[in-house]
Amino acid sequence: MTADLDQQDRSDMALLAAGHDAALNDLMARHGERLFHYLTRQLGSESEAQDCSQETFVRVYLNRSKFRPQARFSTWLYTIATNLVRDTWRRRGRHPETSLDAERDSGSLFDNIPEAGPCADEKMMDAERADEVRRAVQALPVDLRTALVLFEYEEMSQAEIAHVLKCTPKAVEVRIYRARQALKKMLELEPASHC
């Protein structure tokens, strides 16, 4: 299946480079949703993820002649997206602001309470734990978070991640290990919420 997708991607990139702009639609259909989820995990904001996702495909289009057919398109795509994530984090550092998404998503304390029922407590605890994990992943340094997200959520190999991050596979392995250790430490330290 992956070999078929790689071949479709190469074919679409060849068409795109030859001036068939509609091939970009096929690439976006195959990779858009997964890329958006990756960017959301990286940035913690759906609106920023949407912007970066669109900008990623704009850059694919603008750089279509630079794509090397022997390379995997998905690795090239995630390299572009990861560079945009880095740019976004740098911009955030220079111009900190409160995200409207964060304010909207935070809502009322009572917005996320599940309906009463036999499993309501379990569902609430699961939702709280998922939020804790999301916050902990967002708190990781960018290099550790990126390696972990690409490995765990995007299911890339360490070699592919090394290509995206422009480092060695061993460096990727170390980053993933450090990210997991940091998450473990953060999640053990967070106090359990009580009613």
pTM of the model: 0.71
- Return the CATH number of 1-100, one of 3.30.420.40, 1.10.1740.10, 3.30.750.24, 1.10.150.120: 1.10.1740.10
Nearest by Cα to 65 from 27, 22, 15: 15
Q: Give the helix ranges, DSSP H, for the chain.
A: 2-17, 23-43, 46-62, 73-94, 100-106, 120-139, 142-152, 158-165, 169-189
pLDDT for residue 130 is more than 90: no
Domains 1-100 and 121-195 share a fold: no
Least confident stretch, 61-65, 95-99, 138-142, 144-148:
95-99
In one-letter notation, the amino acid at residue 100 is L
Q: How far apart are CA 23 and CA 116, in angstroms?
A: 49
| Beta carbons within 8 Å of 75's beta carbon, 6+ residues apart | 156, 160, 163, 164
79-116, pLDDT tens digit by residue? 999 999 999 888 877 766 544 444 444 443 334 444 44
Domains of the chain, residue spans: 1-100, 121-195
Fold for the domain defined by 121-195? Arc Repressor Mutant, subunit A (1.10.10)
User: Rounded mean pLDDT of the chain?
Assistant: 84
